[in-house]
Amino acid sequence: MSWPRLTPPALTDLPIPQPAAGEIRLRIRACGLNFADLLMAKGTYQETPPTPFVMGMEVAGTVDALGEGVTGFSIGQRVAGFAGKGGLAEYGCFPVERCLPLPDAMPFDQAAGFMVAYGTSHVALVHRARLMAGETLLVLGAAGGVGLTAVEIGAKLGAKVVAVARGPEKLKVAEAAGATVLIDSESTDLKAAFKALGGVDVVYDAVGEPAASAALRALRPQGRYVVIGFAGGGVPQFPANILLVKNIDVIGLYWGGYSVFAPNVITRSLTDLIAMYAKGDLHPHVSHALPLERTAEAMELMRTRTSTGKVVVTMDD
């Protein structure tokens, strides 16, 4: 694994942190990894903290202590939290407004990878792209951490979901999540395959180039192209003439930003998602759950894009 800015993650003994006012301390049971963790390790993420810092954006565990003024949570309660960092640890303190009570039936490994992946896709498809039943949704990177949740949520919304992923094994995972059209990005002429679809209404892109250019041209008039990230490494450059002639919307979606300028959007979305999970409508997919001492290995799985769904780091009891 390449670490141009940082050394590989190392285990370090630190004092157990004390929650500040408005925070809860969690005994962390699991931490979900995200592509943003790789960017932080390289120092290229838009919100990389000063070094040294504890990586890990989202966690699940039990409430261990309450900071001053905290209400609505109790010691021992099962909780998921998102704070942007601090999750790869046995204990962590997180702002109460970024924490969510968990259903008793949700395992910690699923809960640790739930908020960012499902939250991103739900806000992207419902709030931003306005995906409707009967429309066609094209998902690039459909077996990845966020892409697989887009497949699942899109199918639940009644869309026809086209999954694009590398290799038959990843496509099987996307098919199980609800995709009805499967396109292998390793062995297929994507431009021809997308053209054969006869047009799509929404593109969900967590990959970027080289698939992005072909996907843009597959959009129908008034289509919506949602930019999620650039796991493939290439940042798309959208030709303005195509956007103009076809009346296409290009929509950016940075889920974490909503916690600053519109936290109610995240709150409402996560409430809907937890209700969907409780009804049995969502089935989080964790392909790898590795112990804390194997964090570097877990991150390598993400860097090489050999995992499907979520990679989770677990802590001993």
Q: Would you write out the chain's pLDDT as a tens digit for each of its 317 residues?
A: 333 444 567 888 999 999 999 999 999 999 999 988 888 888 888 787 888 889 999 999 999 999 999 999 999 999 999 988 899 999 999 999 999 999 999 999 999 999 999 999 999 999 999 999 999 999 999 999 999 999 999 999 999 999 999 999 999 999 999 999 999 998 889 999 999 999 999 999 999 999 999 999 999 999 999 999 998 778 999 999 999 999 999 999 999 899 889 999 999 999 999 999 999 999 999 999 999 999 999 999 988 888 999 999 999 76
Output the pTM of the full model. Answer: 0.91
Task: Specify the pLDDT at position 8.
Answer: 67
Task: Specify the pLDDT at position 103.
Answer: 93
End-to-end alpha-carbon separation of the chain, Å? 29
| Residues 284, 309 contacting (CB under 8 angstroms) | yes
The whole-angstrom separation of Cα 104 and Cα 120 is 23
Task: Specify the pLDDT at position 316.
Answer: 75
What's the CATH class of domain 23-114+284-314? alpha beta
How many CB atoms are located within 10 Å of the residue 97 CB?
12
Task: Specify the pLDDT at position 1.
Answer: 30
Task: Specify the pLDDT at position 11.
Answer: 87
Is 23-114+284-314's fold the same as 117-256's? Answer: no
Q: Token pair of 217, please?
A: 């041209």
User: Which residue ranges make up each domain of the chain?
Assistant: 23-114+284-314, 117-256
What's the CATH class of domain 117-256? alpha beta
Amino acid letter, 39: L
Nearest to 8 by CA among 79, 67, 88: 88
HEC letters along the chain: CCCCCCCCCCCCCCCCCCCCCCEEEEEEEEEECCHHHHHHHHCCCCCCCCCCCCCCCEEEEEEEEECCCCCCCCCCCEEEEECCCCCCCCEEEEEHHHEEECCCCCCHHHHHCCHHHHHHHHHHHHHHCCCCCCCEEEEECCCCCCHHHHHHHHHHCCCEEEEEECCHHHHHHHHHCCCCEEEECCCCCHHHHHHHCCCEEEEEECCCECHHHHHHHHEEEEEEEEECCCCCCECCCCCHHHHHHHCCEEEECCHHHHHHHCHHHHHHHHHHHHHHHHCCCCCCCEEEEEEHHHHHHHHHHHHCCCCCEEEEEECCC
